[in-house]
Structure 1
Amino acid sequence: MASPCNCIAGTVRSLRPMIAPRTEPIFLRFAARRTLVHSRASGTAMVARKLGSKAAVSVSRAKIQCLDSGSTAGGVWRGSRAFSFSAPRSKLKTIQQVWARNKGGPFNITAAVIFVGTAGALWAYFTYEKERMARKRIAEQTKGIGKPKVGGPFQLVDQDGLSFTSEDMKGKYSLVYFGFSHCPDICPDELDKMALMYEKVKEKCGDVLLPIMISCDPARDSPAVLKEYLQEFHPDIIGLTGDYEQIKETCKAYRVYFSTPPNVKLGQDYLVDHSIYFYLMDPEGDFVEAIGRNFTAEQAAKVISDHIKDWQGPLKKKDRWA
Structure 2
Amino acid sequence: MACSCEQMFLFMNSLTTLATKHLTDIVNDAIRLQPSEHALVIFDTVAPLTRIITDGYRGALPNGEFLDFDSVTPEEVIQKMRSLNEGDLVVLVQSMNFRLNEFRIRIELFARGLKTVEHVHLARIQEPQFPVYIEALAYEKAFYHEKGHGLKKRLDTCSKIVVNCPGTTLTYDTGMEPTKLNIGDYTEMKNVGGTFPIGEVFTEAKDLTKVNGEAMIFGYANQDHYIQIVEPFKVIVKDGILTAPDAPQDFKDILDRIREDEEVIVREFGLGLNRAMGKDKIVYDITAFERQHGMHLSLGAKHAIYAKPGLHRKKGRYHVDVFVDIEKIQIDDEVVYRDGEFHV
TM-score, length-scaled by structure 2? 0.20
More strand by share: 2
More helix by share: 1
Find the structure with the greater CA-based Rg: 1
